[in-house]
Amino acid sequence: MSRVFNFSAGPAMVPESVLQQASEEMLDWHGSGISVMEMSHRGKEFMSIATKAECDLRDLLDIPDNYKVLFLQGGASAQFAMVPLNLLRGQKKADYVNTGQWSKKAIAEAKRFCNVNVVASSEESKFTSIPDQDDWQIDSNAAYFHYTPNETIGGVEFHWIPETGKVPLVADMSSTLLSRPLDVSRYGVIYAGAQKNIGPAGLTVVIVREDLIGEVLPGMPTMFDYKTMADNDSMYNTPPTYSWYLAGLVFDWLKQRDGLEGMATINKRKANKLYAQIDDSDFYQNPVDLSCRSWMNIPFTLADPELDSKFLELAKEAGLFSLKGHRSVGGMRASIYNAMPEEGVNALVSFMSDFEQHNG
């Protein structure tokens, strides 16, 4: 068996020790004689798995008691609709800031339900910056304010939290949740698809302040109502049990590694190494403003795009997978979530240096 370093943006790497544990427990979970996959979601075995996962996540993020943690399906994309459906609460306007492809998708979906006020956009700079908050046209009567703290495609990350006063702040944290400590109390809703930085696809984590739950648009499907899910501990119907279990193993892994403070130190170091390699050469480029470069997703281009396919081919031979950039940006993208070991970044940096020497 040989495992590679997988730089995919998602589904992405899962810590090897977690996969190992899942593999050991696959046929017989803790002497139960069955796989987690085969358990009733209402049985005491799975209930203990589910409860522990929630407790560990609450611990890691220090989630205040007046927040519900929901384990849902539908991905972050379903939240693009569930957020307006649940948070408009009879109002007609919501604020969004447009910093990239995922913001755009969230905006397009919200427009089906309300008037969207785009407070600012960095589209003119090809999404390589974050508009200065002083210039945002914020509406103090908006039902909520939505942003994307880490734009997975453009590699743009907020290293600060927008100030929205009484307007509830909503964040699509799909590609950054758990990469560092977070002040959850600043938010109304935080949501994230699991397949970037948490675990396998099929699970969406939603953290929502209790007072925002319960007043929904007419005709709301039962399954999309946060209240249904909160009142039933995310078990109104069958939840994605196996993904929930694996996410729990990942939370446990994080707790054994100094939690999110520890993770932040490593993540920052990993990102800095890769940016240094890019910036110290004329051969590689990253277009993003220094102030908002992502720790998680690092796009870069080669001086000569003709060399792209050779770069990808040789990288693959060296055990460095899935470096092809998103079609809208081109070039390469290295996604280096929590589960990417520092050795993976070291290997990429040294490969890039060699490649430049031979082709630069």
Ligand X SMILES: *Cc1c(COP(=O)(O)O)cnc(C)c1O
Is 244 noted as a catalytic residue in this protein? no
C-alpha span between 27 and 171 (Å, rounded)? 38
CB of 133 to ligand X, least distance (A): 20
CB of 360 to ligand X, least distance (A): 32
153 near 102, Cβ under 8 Å?
yes
Beta-bridged to residue 99, according to DSSP, are none
Angle between the 259-279 and 342-359 helix axes, to the nearest 10 degrees?
Answer: 0
Closest alpha carbon to 270 in 337, 358, 188, 171: 337
3-state secondary structure of 172: strand
Joined together, the tokens standing for residue 8 give 């995919």
CB-wise, 193 or 199, nearer to ligand X?
Answer: 193
CB-wise, 195 or 277, nearer to ligand X?
Answer: 195
CB-wise, 10 or 15, nearer to ligand X?
Answer: 10
Tell me which of 102, 136, 244, 253 is the catalytic residue. 102
Instruction: Please work out the total of residues on this chain that contact ligand X, with binding judged by CB under 6 A.
Output: 12
Binding mask 267-306 for ligand X (x = CB under 6 A): ----------------------------------------
Is 196 noted as a catalytic residue in this protein? yes
CB-wise, 123 or 279, nearer to ligand X?
Answer: 123
Integer angstrom CA distances of residue 266 from 279, 282, 299: 20, 27, 19
CB of 336 to ligand X, least distance (A): 14
C-alpha span between 13 and 342 (Å, rounded)? 13
Closest alpha carbon to 217 in 83, 90, 112: 90
Site residues (CB under 6 A) for ligand X, limited to 59-118: 75-77, 102
CB of 9 to ligand X, least distance (A): 7
Using the rule CB under 6 A, give the single segment among 11-19, 50-58, 113-121, 170-178 that binds ligand X.
170-178
Contact status: 148 vs ligand X (CB under 6 A):
yes
3-state secondary structure of 192: strand
Is 135 noted as a catalytic residue in this protein? no
CB of 175 to ligand X, least distance (A): 4
Residue type, 298: I
Tell me which of 56, 68, 136, 172 is the catalytic residue. 172
CB-wise, 160 or 231, nearer to ligand X?
Answer: 160
CB-wise, 164 or 174, nearer to ligand X?
Answer: 174
Contact status: 193 vs ligand X (CB under 6 A):
yes
CA neighbours within 13 Å on the CB side: how many for 304?
A: 8
Joined together, the tokens standing for residue 345 give 């970044």
Closest alpha carbon to 129 in 287, 250, 260: 287
Report the DSSP pairing between strands 93-98 and 332-335: unpaired
205 near 57, Cβ under 8 Å?
yes
Tell me which of 68, 196, 270, 324 is the catalytic residue. 196
Contact status: 152 vs ligand X (CB under 6 A):
yes
Contact status: 174 vs ligand X (CB under 6 A):
yes
CB of 75 to ligand X, least distance (A): 3
Beta-bridged to residue 208, according to DSSP, are 68, 189
C-alpha span between 150 and 100 (Å, rounded)? 9
Contact with ligand X (CB under 6 A) among 10, 155, 248, 287: 10
Contact status: 175 vs ligand X (CB under 6 A):
yes
Q: What residues line the site for ligand X (CB under 6 A)?
A: 10, 75-77, 102, 148, 152, 172, 174-175, 193, 196
- Which residues are annotated as catalytic? 102, 172, 196
